Amino acid sequence: MSDRIEWTRHADGVVQLQLARADKMNALDPAMFDALIEAGEALCGDAAVRAVVISGRGKAFCAGLDMASFERMQQGAGAEVLGEGAAGADLVRRTHGISNAAQQVAMVWRDVPVPVIAAVHGVAFGGGLQVALGADIRIVAPDTKLSVMEIKWGLVPDMAGMVLMRELARSDVVRELTFTGRIFSGEEALRIGFATRLSADPLDAALQMAHEIAGKSPDAIRAGKRLLNASLSQDAAQLLIAESVEQKALIGSANQIEAVKANIERRAPRFDPPA
């Protein structure tokens, strides 16, 4: 794994990922782009993981694209500022399913089959904000500074921001933030829908939530995430069928029976790895 991300694996299946470029406020350089994709894709195939927490070391969650990349843009560089997956490539070409490499940095957290919680503090600008928006849940410090900052550099949000923002806030709010690039607080992020909740210590709160999730049936958690992802693109008829399919598979399964027994016997459940 890259030195851009530090991994901590807890005994209950919680995985903690910390962006580890603290001297640069965890800004996105090619190595960070690649490390985020690599981490997310590794978690997609990890049957032992129950929940994921993403945070940033030092003073910030992520300050967005690093200055060296903007300097290369000034000199005429293009997609190569975005990491190996996009090096020399046409951004329109899909390299990761429906996404290009830059978009996969945020979208990969939707592919991870368990809940992903972003613990956001300091700043989350531009691409850094889009990484956080890719998580299922965002716990944000009230004094965090956030911005859809791409307009400052003559750009548009292109790390899946347009897909992710429309799920969370009203269209006029998304438009205003995109057109102005203004900086807003964690408290405003909660009001408009970009933050799930506020905490003076978002990492501690995120880890507590992750450990709570890790104590639930892994089959039901993964099924719930599949349904929530499907709800973004399926119509009512399709989603009702998907609910029924998932529930049919869960009812009477070993982990569902164990959840019932543990509650009746008032003890901690002992779940098998996900089916």
Per-residue pLDDT of the chain (275 residues; tens, 9 = 90+): 579 999 999 999 999 999 999 999 999 999 999 999 999 999 999 999 999 999 999 999 999 998 666 555 555 545 555 554 444 457 888 888 888 999 999 999 999 999 999 999 999 999 999 999 999 999 999 999 999 999 999 999 999 999 999 999 999 999 999 999 999 999 999 999 999 999 999 999 999 999 999 999 999 999 999 999 999 999 999 999 999 999 999 999 999 999 999 999 999 999 999 87
The pLDDT, as a whole number, for residue 84 is 46
Per the CB < 8 A criterion, the answer to whether 132 and 61 are in contact is yes
User: What does residue 258 show for φ and ψ, rounded to 5 degrees?
Assistant: -65, -35
Helix H or strand E encompassing 17: strand 14-19
Phi and psi (nearest 5°) for 138?
-125, 120
The pLDDT of residue 78 is 54
Report helix angle 218-230 to 254-265, nearest 10. 120
Alpha-carbon torsion (207, 209, 213, 215), positive or negative = positive
- Give me the pLDDT at residue 73, please: 54
What pLDDT is attached to residue 207?
98
Give the separation between CA 62 and CA 42, rounded to whole angstroms.
Answer: 21
**Per-residue model confidence (pLDDT) at position 80:** 53
pLDDT of amino acid 55:
98
**pTM for the full model?**
0.92
Residue 131: closest CA among 113, 153, 142, 146 = 146
Count of residues in the chain: 275
Strand, helix or coil for residue 71: helix
CA distance 42 to 197: 28
Cβ atoms of residues 69 and 81 within 8 Å: yes
Per 3-state DSSP, what percentage of the chain is helix, strand, and coil (rounded to 5)? 50, 15, 35
Q: What pLDDT does 87 receive?
A: 41
* Cβ contacts of 75 within 8 Å, gap of 6 or more: none
